[in-house]
Amino acid sequence: MQKRKLGNSNLEVSAIGLGCMGMSVGNGPAGDKQEMISFIRAAVERGVTFFDTAQVYGPFTNEELVGEALAPFQDQVVIGTKFGHDFGPDGKQPPKGLNSRPEYIKRIVEGSLTRLRVETTDLFYQHRVDPNVPIEEVAGAVKELIQEGKVKHFGLDENIGAVAIGLMSDDLGEIESAASKITVQGARYPEELERMTGL
């Protein structure tokens, strides 16, 4: 399996990653848990090292699935998860819009770490831009989580034109060029997920 580095971060991942959302939500009923665990582990055996999930997938059940499946391989894989939806005061309600306030990010990361069965998440993305919170404040909160050892790398959503911190203008040009050649069919996210998040 070929490898890729994300931006200038030296975070190396397999050229092919596995997005895990559809195993729990969005493509009809959730897959059988044991079958999905076997599928994820088979991907590791074939050289896949990059796995993507998010708090909102389920919500929360996809992180739990990925955490259980990858627990034996933590030193071999990179797990990216995403934040940015508001799950209420205790962080457990169905999402009600967006929330990237620094204090909320610092609180909500704890649930992701528990569900993923890790002490540090490899890549922490902002899932949706919160128009009420300047990106500098979001980045500052994640920087503190990096300093505390809870996050290794910070990623930004495609809606603000970047994949990961540290991309150079040449990198962005290559991404834009490649993206312009992709034929998109259907919605960006399944209708069920769009309804659930209100976005």
For tokens 């998040």, name the residue: 197
Catalytic residue among 57, 104, 125, 189: 57
Looking at domain 3-197, its CATH architecture is Alpha-Beta Barrel (3.20)
**Does the annotation count 57 as an active-site position?**
yes
Which uninterrupted H or E stretch holds 70? helix 61-70
3-state secondary structure of 167: coil
CA distances from residue 81 to 17, 20, 50, 183 in whole angstroms, order as listed: 13, 10, 11, 26
The reported pTM is: 0.77
pLDDT tens digits for the chain (199 residues)?
899 888 777 889 999 999 999 999 887 888 899 999 999 999 999 999 999 999 999 899 999 999 999 999 999 999 999 999 998 777 777 888 999 999 999 999 999 999 999 999 999 989 888 999 999 999 999 999 999 999 999 986 744 333 344 444 554 555 455 555 555 455 555 565 566 555 4
Q: Say if CB 61 and CB 24 are below 8 A apart.
A: yes
So where are the chain's domains? Answer: 3-197
